């Protein structure tokens, strides 16, 4: 019970001002540039979402039936939908979700990528990024996450897309490159 209270207080304490402070405009610009550059090398669509803390409606879910990690995953899935990452023409969107209060990262990939990149591979990628977030090196962690996601998307770029065009052919940029901050 004490752990739940500590988690609750931590999430109530963090807010959007903390996100803006920990992710300043120059860092946002660098991350946006990296996303844009990455998307020139594959057909995937990458979106970054950085959130200070879980809303109260999500915090109440933590308890006997759901772990904090499960609730964080639920939130990442919700943001995947809210930010329209699921709505790309080739179902090849990837959300990199960061929850600052927990130094947590989640990767949500659209169904078009599931045949080529397993959930275990995404989980391994997340595990590799966790240490950077623990030491509050958010830009380094996000840069590594972007590089790893890009690498995975490039490896499948030779496969044709749903419409038969090569995956590495030019596609319109369907999602904003600048990270979404909450």
The structural domains of the chain, ordered by start, are 2-181 (3.10.310.50)
Per the listing, tokens 């039936």 go with: 65
Instruction: Quickly count: other Cβ atoms within 10 Å of residue 21's Cβ.
Output: 9
The pLDDT score that the predictor gives to residue 69 is 96
The pLDDT score that the predictor gives to residue 1 is 62
Q: Where are the alpha helices (DSSP H) in the chain?
A: 2-13, 16-22, 25-38, 56-59, 68-82, 119-134, 138-155
CA dist 124 and 141 (Å) reads 14
The pLDDT score that the predictor gives to residue 156 is 87
pTM over 0.75: yes
Digits of tens for pLDDT over the chain (182 positions)? 677 889 999 999 999 999 999 999 999 999 999 999 999 999 899 999 999 999 999 999 998 789 999 999 999 999 999 999 999 999 999 999 999 999 999 999 999 998 899 999 999 888 878 888 888 888 998 999 999 999 999 998 755 555 555 555 557 899 999 999 99
The pLDDT score that the predictor gives to residue 53 is 98
Rg of the chain in Å (alpha carbons) = 16
Give the orientation angle of helix 138-155 with respect to helix 25-38, to 10 degrees.
10
């Amino acid at each position: 019970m004490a752990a739940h209270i500590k988690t609750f207080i931590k999430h109530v304490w963090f807010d959007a001002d903390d996100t803006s402070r920990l992710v300043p405009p120059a860092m946002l610009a660098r991350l946006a540039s990296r996303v844009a550059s990455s998307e020139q090398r594959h057909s995937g669509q990458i979106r970054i979402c950085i959130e200070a803390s879980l809303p109260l409606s999500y915090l109440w879910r933590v308890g006997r039936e759901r772990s904090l990690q499960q609730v964080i995953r639920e939130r990442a899935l919700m943001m995947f939908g809210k930010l329209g990452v699921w709505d790309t023409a080739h179902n090849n969107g990837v959300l990199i979700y960061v929850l600052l209060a927990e130094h947590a990262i989640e990767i949500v990939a659209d169904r078009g990528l599931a045949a080529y990149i397993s959930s275990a591979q995404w989980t391994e990628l997340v595990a590799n990024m966790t240490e950077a977030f623990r030491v509050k090196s958010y830009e380094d962690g996000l840069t590594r996450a972007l590089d790893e996601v890009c690498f995975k998307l490039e490896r499948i770029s030779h496969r044709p897309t749903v419409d038969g065009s090569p995956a590495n052919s030019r596609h319109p940029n369907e999602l904003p490159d600048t990270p979404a901050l909450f």
